[in-house]
Homo-oligomer: A and B are copies of this chain.
Amino acid sequence: MKNLLSMEHLTNEEINHILDRAQAFENGEASSLSRTYNVANLFFEPSTRTKTSFEMAERKVGCTVIPFDAGFSSMTKGETMYDTVKTLEMIGMDAVVIRAKEDEFYNELLEGINVAIINAGDGAGQHPSQSLLDLYTIKKEFGSFEGLNVTIAGDVSHSRVAKSNATALQRLGANVRFLCPEDWAGEFEAHHSWDGLIDTSDVIMLLRVQHERHKVNKSFSKESYHEEFGLTIEREKQMKETAIIMHPAPVNRDVEIASELVECERSRIFDQVRNGVFARMAIVETILKERD
């Protein structure tokens, strides 16, 4: 694994290797890297958990993290992504983690760049490290993906998470269903009501309503979105006993999910954050291992 660009590029073996390494890290195993590597995190969009999680994971596998302030870089003077990343390569980076507004920003980096690229979210494209931590969270819970009913609810067509997860979960044997307002489905075949989904799901994966990408339609107030598509207190009571709630966060409380449910017993929302550090340690280790 030279780069991590999209879940579609990963084989099931590669996915399982990362989930196994995440588990090993959670069990206290140390990094198997034989030397210190230099990495930089280039975040061109606001982020708390993904950026901080990578910062922590990189240090935990023994990397030196060189700070990079995306909002104050030469890209504000028109430098291309290619030239920026090539520059960081020449300065001595071994890997760069990038979040960018452009879908598939990494396409211009595939040729001529020798630093490893880790996609931390590309526009409305993929978010593979989130997907891998989601898979790790589900695997820890259920042991396997085979036959699990996973419902992904929300702003499906604009969600990097929906895309990354749908691909991987289906390939690993899960049964994925989508729920969203009619005009938010995009390329996905989606349900438009919780009927038949709420009491049959093993995993309910809520997506953030992305105010910054997609205005809540005039026909939806926050309240009416919550009422129709959110996980309300009433709906939670209809869930299967063993079912869990997930959300990539940041959460819009009382929109996607009732505020009282964010830390309820079956919620794995903050566990996902914790698992994210282990998943990202596995990603960074796996990619840098190729350079050992």
B76 A46 Cβ-Cβ under 8 A = yes
B90 and A273 within 8 A (CB): yes
Number of interface residues of A (CB under 8 A): 53
Q: Does chain B have a CB within 8 A of A147?
A: no
- Within 12-62 of A, Cβ neighbours of B (below 8 Å) are at 38, 40, 43, 46-49, 51-53, 55-56, 59
Of residues 62 to 77 in A, which have CB atoms within 8 Å of B's CB atoms? 64, 66-77
Q: Give the residues in chain B near A241, CB-CB below 8 Å.
A: none
The answer to the question of A238 belonging to the interface, with a C-beta cut-off of 8 Å to chain B, is no
Among candidates B68, B73, B262, B277, residue contacting A92 with C-beta atoms closer than 8 Å: B277
A residues adjacent to B (C-beta < 8 A)? 38, 40, 43, 46-49, 51-53, 55-56, 59, 64, 66-80, 83-84, 86-88, 90-92, 112, 211-212, 249-253, 262-263, 270-271, 273-274, 276-277
Subset of 19 A-B contacts with CB under 8 Å = A48-B73, A48-B74, A48-B75, A48-B79, A48-B84, A51-B69, A52-B87, A56-B92, A59-B64, A67-B67, A74-B250, A77-B211, A78-B250, A78-B252, A79-B249, A90-B270, A90-B271, A91-B273, A112-B263
